Structure 1
Amino acid sequence: MFSLIESFRSALQSVKAHGFRSFLTTLGIIIGVASTIAVVSVIQGLSYSINQQFEGFGSNSISIRSYTPRNERLKGKIARITPDDVEVISKQVEGVQFITPILGSNVGSTSSIKFAGNETFGQVSGSTYNYQSVQNIDMKYGRFLSYSDNLSRRKVVVIGEKVRTELALPKNPVGEFIQFAGEWLKIIGLAEEKGAFLGFNQDNFMVMPYSTMQGLNGNLIEPDIFVQLQLKSLENLDSIKEKITRILRKQHKLTTEDDDFKVETPEQLTSGISQVIDTLTIVLGGIVSISLFVGGIGIMNIMLVSVTERTREIGICKAIGAKRHHILLQFLIEAIVLSLLGGIIGIIIGYGLGFLAAATIPNFPPATIPLWAIGIAFGFCAFVGILFGILPAAKAANLDPIDALRYE
């Protein structure tokens, strides 16, 4: 224990005595660790934000959308979820608390909305009063769509904060009329602001009664409906998914063909995105960590020079009784200390760079450094110190004391 403490003291003394050289020696380690931590912090910050957003959707929700397999697309076939599918699911599937069809506009995923000479493009859809529950929408002003709105095909809409801002509508826009697809629609509600998610603004939307959207789309194109359900309990999640799959396969007259629809939960979406992010973290982290090996080679070179400079000192130490393992430990710990100091500085700089990068990108979540990243960084630095410090340490330990004392 005494020799270990003395080795640490000697290593720190040597680093302090040659401060500028020590800084240049660890520069490769600093750059490598800083790059790795910056990349990991930005990607993990994004991952944390995504998981938080999906938690807001609720783990007891299910979404159903059409999906055309590749071989069917080659035949010119396009799969659709129809109103009949929605009706059968709502009647035959038990354990569903809310179900709502979501019908998009036939002019595209983003549509033109106008007011008093101003124009914006937002996500326009038609749905029912259950849309508020499955999408977790809180109202800031006015009310949401009602059952009677859909029954009477009323030309009313609920908008998001982004649409209100872009159209320069009053702070409380309830009662104003906006134009969409040549029709004037009355605003009955403004939703609470949610902010951005994965680069998409969640407040850039307008929703109207499902029947009103049907009327605006006309009968020229068969509708393709997106469906969202909220379950009463998570206990029946798997059985409900299986039942929905059976119902839709029967509705679409599928026997041996692949499903032409997708039944998904937030956990599945989160899992898929997490796998992509984890792979990206490993790949990018692996690329930038190459500089750690470059830094390790720099440490080995300087330590070899240090052995040559301190040959006489090593000879004196051996002459007064220092054993081979004492010399080996002293130089090995010095290499590890240099590497770990570089790692500490690199972590601080890396987090700063990650935080700066996240703050610079608009609507990007803040950087987050997980504990495992810090642990890996320190462990890798220690490994580099041992790996590239062992050769200089062995060379110093194997010096002959008489030859070392004669060295000039």
Structure 2
Amino acid sequence: MLSFAETLRSAAASIRGHGLRSGLTALGLVVGVASVIAVVAIVQGLSHRIKEGFAGLGANSLTVKSYTRFEDKLQGRENRIGTADLDELVLRLDGVRDVSPVLPVFGPFGAEVRLAGKTAHTRVFATTPVYQYTRQNFPAQGRFITEADEKHRRRVAVVGAKLLDDLDATAAPIGKFVEIGGEWFKIVGVMEERGELFGISQDDFVLMPFATGLALLPDQVEPDIGITFNVEDVEKLDEVRDRATTLLRRKHGIKAGRENDFKVETAEQLTDSFASLFDTVTFVFAAIVGISMLVGGIGVMNMMLVSVTERTREIGIRKALGAKKRDILAQFLIEAVLLTTIGGAIGIGVGYALGYGAAQLIPSFPPAVLPWWATVAAFGFSAGVGIAFGIAPAARAAALDPMAALRNE
């Protein structure tokens, strides 16, 4: 009986002896693995950037936002979190600090901004001085909104670096006046740059005092605000979340058993939601692209069947010298697995290179990220293809009658 090392050496020698045929056979598997790895690397790169974005909220933060079912939206209904909800949380929720409302003043699509003859379109939010602490984002130039700005409803603005770049106003922006939605504001600060997410700049915005933003809303428009706050004791995070949920359900008159018209989420939950979504997308795309790996497996089976036919006399000689069925089975099965794992290894390298290159070619796209589990899965699947498509040819070789094999020319 041959040792495993000798069987492996024999398999490698057989693959080298038919280099061109082996290479063409492995090519199908290389293409399949490379396609899957490229898709996984690109999608996981997006997921990694999302997680980095939410990491800035901190482990002790909670976010409250309105929630409307899709069926209700179709009927024109829209739930909201208003200033009364904010007051309820500030007055009655213990164990929290840095309560920061965020109001999209001109709706989700923002407003036109003008400065010195230049025009840009950007998102416009109204918030309070503690926003910088809940979001861990601070001014790089000038100052942030102050309590005095809030109290007196001052027309001051803190802007993102991308907006200044669009307005050609990066040189000495502090103190300049900018027109936002037809109203004039004085720039008092420029926030730290945070890069891009999904190709969308996180530095393209305007912040103004919350009271000022409320005053700009038409009388008939009911505000819909998001509220972020920090929990003083992180170990009581779930307890505070439950109390906030109870307060808002009572405030909204939601009866027992009815679904909430709002969400209270931790930064970890927000991250996990996006991570789960991207993992699902990764799996679906990988499964679709992975079909091509089956084509590679069929090619392996075809090559191994040809190899068995060509080596019939060799098999007869080995059996005549005492080789057992399991020895012949192991020899051909190891050869198939070795071929597919080599193809898988090459495919992993090519796939990551393709994913990295594609991410670099797309403007503002996050770099590709290849998780360890994808590499392990690709190796495992490649070996599985070798076993699944190599077992039939190996079994056929093991079942050959030695006398008939010896008579074969």
Pair 1:212 & 2:212 matched: yes
Evaluate the alpha carbon distance shift between residue 199 and residue 317 of structure 1 in structure 2; reply closer, same or farther with a 3 A threshold.
Answer: same
Please name the residue that 2:66 is paired with: 66
Cα offsets for 1:249-305 (capped at 9, x unmatched): 222233355322222222222222122112122222222222222211111111111
Which aligned segments of 4 or more residues in structure 1 are displaced greater than 4 angstroms? 69-77
Pair 1:113 & 2:113 matched: yes
Quick check: 398-407 or 85-94, which moved more? 398-407
Contact 2:2/2:327 (<8 A) preserved:
no
Please name the residue that 2:185 is paired with: 185
CA distance in 2 between partners of 1:75 and 1:311 (Å)? 73
Please name the residue that 2:46 is paired with: 46
Following superposition, the deviation at residue 397 of structure 1 comes to 2.1
CA distance in 2 between partners of 1:147 and 1:43 (Å)? 42
Identity of aligned residues (%): 46
Evaluate the alpha carbon distance shift between residue 53 and residue 397 of structure 1 in structure 2; reply closer, same or farther with a 3 A threshold.
Answer: same
Following superposition, the deviation at residue 157 of structure 1 comes to 0.4
CA distance in 1 between partners of 2:72 and 2:320 (Å)? 84
Following superposition, the deviation at residue 2 of structure 1 comes to 4.5
Letter in 1 for 2:402: P
Cα offsets for 1:327-382 (capped at 9, x unmatched): 22211111111111111111111111111122122222211222211111111111
CA distance in 2 between partners of 1:31 and 1:245 (Å)? 51
Please name the residue that 1:279 is paired with: 280
Evaluate the alpha carbon distance shift between residue 404 and residue 57 of structure 1 in structure 2; reply closer, same or farther with a 3 A threshold.
Answer: same
Quick check: 256-265 or 182-191, which moved more? 256-265
Please name the residue that 1:372 is paired with: 373
Please name the residue that 1:85 is paired with: 85
Please name the residue that 1:238 is paired with: 238
Following superposition, the deviation at residue 29 of structure 1 comes to 1.2
Contact 1:69/1:258 (<8 A) preserved:
no
Letter in 1 for 2:373: W
CA distance in 2 between partners of 1:62 and 1:166 (Å)? 33
Cα offsets for 1:111-170 (capped at 9, x unmatched): 111011111111101111111111211211100010001111111100000111000003
Letter in 2 for 1:387: A
CA distance in 2 between partners of 1:171 and 1:67 (Å)? 41
Letter in 2 for 1:335: A
- Which secondary structure does the structure 1 equivalent of 2:206 belong to? strand
TM-score (norm 2): 0.94
Please name the residue that 1:155 is paired with: 155
- 5+ residue gaps, structure 2, are none
Quick check: 134-143 or 1-10, which moved more? 1-10
Please name the residue that 1:129 is paired with: 129
- Which secondary structure does the structure 1 equivalent of 2:64 belong to? strand
Letter in 1 for 2:267: P
Contact 1:153/1:212 (<8 A) preserved:
yes
Letter in 2 for 1:140: A
Map 1:317-356 → 2, pairs under 5 A: 317-356=318-357
Contact 1:172/1:190 (<8 A) preserved:
no
Quick check: 262-271 or 109-118, which moved more? 262-271
Contact 2:32/2:291 (<8 A) preserved:
yes
Letter in 1 for 2:148: S
Evaluate the alpha carbon distance shift between residue 217 and residue 21 of structure 1 in structure 2; reply closer, same or farther with a 3 A threshold.
Answer: same
Please name the residue that 1:293 is paired with: 294
The number of equivalent residue pairs is 408
Evaluate the alpha carbon distance shift between residue 266 and residue 108 of structure 1 in structure 2; reply closer, same or farther with a 3 A threshold.
Answer: closer
Following superposition, the deviation at residue 77 of structure 1 comes to 4.5
Please name the residue that 2:174 is paired with: 174
Contact 1:112/1:120 (<8 A) preserved:
yes
